[in-house]
Amino acid sequence: MSKKNIFILLGLVASLVLAAVIWYQISLGFRSRNTKVEAFSIVAGQNTATILNNLEEKNIISSVLAAKIYLYRHKGIKIQAGEYNIEPNTSTRQLFADLGLGKTVSREISLLFREGLSLKEMQAELNKNGYLTNGEFFRLGQTKIKDLPVRLKISPFLKEVSATATLEGFLFPDTYRVYKDFSAEDLAAKMLDNFDHKLTPQIRQDIRSSGHSFEDIVIMASILQKEVRTEKEMKLASGVFWNRLRAGQALQSCATLAYILGENKAQYSYADTQIDSPYNTYQHPGLPPGPVSNPGLMALNAAIHPENSDYNYFLSRPDTGETIFSRTLEEHNAAKAKYLK
C-alpha cells in the first residue's frame, strides 16, 4: 500500500473516530425532549438493557448505545430502583448521576387528620388533597362493623363495639404516612391499628373501672372533642354530661346538632333543637346512637376521668372559644345574654 493510501486510510479512521467522539458527546449532552416532568419507574432487579430501552422510548435519552458506553466507562454508577421524576431538559450525564445516586421520589405522602373531624369531614380532607375523591373512604367508614373486610374487623378493640356500629369515632386522628396509591381500606387499617396501639393497658383498665362501656366512652369523648377545647374544660364538661345522664336528663349537646346539620354554628336556633333525628340530644335522653366525631386521647381521658363539680351548664364564647360554666339556670341565661349576642 502506498504512503498516499495509508495517509488516506488514517485520515478516514481519524474522521470516523472524531465523528464517533462527537456523536458520543452529543448523545451525552442530549436533553430530554419532554416539556414536563416525566415519571419513570425502575423495578428492583430490572436489567440495564431494559431500563435504557425504556428511557429511549420515553425520549429521555437519545441513544441506548451511547448510554451503554457511558455506563461501561463509568462502572461506579449503579442504577438504583425506585420512582423518579425526570425534569425537562435533563442531560444524559445528569440523568445517570441521579439514577446512580438513587434520587428517587418518595412514594409516601403525609395525611393529617385533626381531632374532632367526623367521617364526612375526613373525606372532605382527602378530597381537598386529591385522594380517594370518589367517596370510597366515607362509604367504607359507614359500613357496619359486621360487614367490614376481615382485615378491618379483626381490630382487637372492635370486639367491644356493637356489630351494627360503624367506624365513626374509631378512626384515630393523627398524621399518617401512606403510599400514594393507597386504598380506603389501607388508610382505615392504619387508623384502627393506631387507635388500638393508643389504648394502653392502663387506659383499658380505667375504662373497665369507669362503670361505662368502651363504646359509650368513645361516644362521650366524641361529643367532648367538639364541645370544648382544653383538657380542664373537657373534664368539667364530662362531669356535667355524665351527671345529666345519671339524672335522666337530656344531654342537650350542640355537638350532636352540628353532626346532624353538617355545620358548626356559634348558636343553634330553637328550630335546630327540634330536628327529628336519633342523634338529637335535645329531643332524646341518653347518649346518641354513635360517636359524632373521631376523638383524640385528651377527650378520651376526659370521658374516662370526669371532674366532679357543682356546674350544671356551660357554653363556649364565639369570640375566644373559652368555655363558661354555670351552676344555675339563671347564671347560664345571663352568660348566654352576655356572650351569645
- Could you report the per-residue pLDDT of 51-70, keeping only the tens digit for each? 999 999 988 888 888 888 88
Mean pLDDT, rounded, for 199-208: 96
Q: Please tell me whether residues 221 and 331 are part of one structural domain.
A: yes
Residues 120 and 182 in one domain: yes
Q: Which of 140, 167, 198 is where one domain is finished?
A: 198
Q: Are strands 175-179 and 108-112 parallel, antiparallel or unpaired?
A: antiparallel
Q: Is residue 78 part of a domain?
A: yes
The pLDDT value given to residue 37:
83
Contact 224, 302 (CB under 8 A): yes
Same domain flag for 173 and 225:
no
251 and 330 housed in the same domain: yes
Q: Domain check: are 49 and 142 in the same one?
A: no
Do 253 and 333 lie in one domain? The reply is yes
* Residues 229 and 318 grouped into a single domain: yes
How confident is the model over 281-307, as a mean pLDDT?
97
- The rounded percent of the chain whose pLDDT value lies above 90 is 62
- Is residue 232 in some structural domain? yes
Question: What confidence score (pLDDT) does residue 30 get?
Answer: 53
Is 14 within a domain?
no
Residues 147 and 169 placed together within one structural domain of the fold: yes
Better-scored residue on pLDDT, 37 or 331: 331
The enclosing domain of 50 has a CATH number of 3.30.1490.480
Q: Which residues contact 270 (CB under 8 A, 6 or more apart)?
A: none
215 plus 334 within the same structural domain: yes
Average pLDDT, the chain: 89
The x, y and z cell numbers of residue 8, run together, are: 488516506
Joined grid coordinates for residue 158:
372492635
- Where does a domain end: 67, 101, 135? 101
Q: What is the pLDDT of residue 21?
A: 47
pLDDT at 11: 54
CA atoms of 226 and 38, how far apart (whole Å):
44
Instruction: With respect to residue 20, please indicate whether it lies within any of the assigned structural domains.
Output: no
Residue-range definition of the domain harbouring residue 224: 211-339
Same domain, 118 and 181: yes
Domain-located, residue 96? yes
Residue finishing a domain among 66, 101, 136 = 101
- CA-angle at 216, arms to 289 and 194, nearest 5°: 105
If residue 313 lies in a helix (H) or strand (E), which one and from where to where? strand 313-316
Beta-carbon contacts of 27 under 8 Å, excluding residues fewer than 6 positions away, are: 61, 62, 63, 66, 67, 92
CB 306 within 8 A of CB 242: yes
Q: Residue 13 above 60 pLDDT?
A: no
pLDDT tens digits, 299-321: 999 999 999 999 999 999 988 88
- Can you say how many angstroms the Cα of residue 162 is from the centroid of all Cα atoms in its chain? 26
The torsion angles phi and psi of 14, rounded to 5 degrees, stand at -65, -40
User: Considering its fold, how many domains does the chain have in total?
Assistant: 3
Cα torsion at 215, 219, 225, 226 (round to 10°)? Answer: 160
Q: Which helix (H) or strand (E) holds 176?
A: strand 175-179
Residue 8 lies in a domain: no
pLDDT band at 25 (very low <50, low <70, confident <90, very high): low
Position with higher pLDDT, 138 vs 324: 138
Residues 95 and 162 in one domain: no
85 & 129 share domain? no
Is there a domain that residue 115 lies in? yes
Q: What is the DSSP string of 121-165?
A: HHHHHHHHTTSSTTSHHHHHHTS-GGGS-HHHHT-GGGGGS-TT-
Identify the weakest region by mean pLDDT among 12-16, 128-132, 161-165, 336-340.
12-16
Contact assessment for residue 39 and residue 83, using Cβ atoms and an 8 Å cutoff: yes
Q: pLDDT band for position 7 (50/70/90)? A: low
Higher pLDDT, 251 or 94: 251
Residue 285 domain flag:
yes
CB atoms inside a 10 Å sphere around CB 237: 26
Query: Is the Cβ–Cβ distance between 317 and 227 less than 8 Å?
Result: no
Residue 66 is predicted with a pLDDT of 85
Q: pLDDT per residue over 159-195, tens digit each?
A: 999 999 999 999 999 999 887 789 999 999 999 999 9
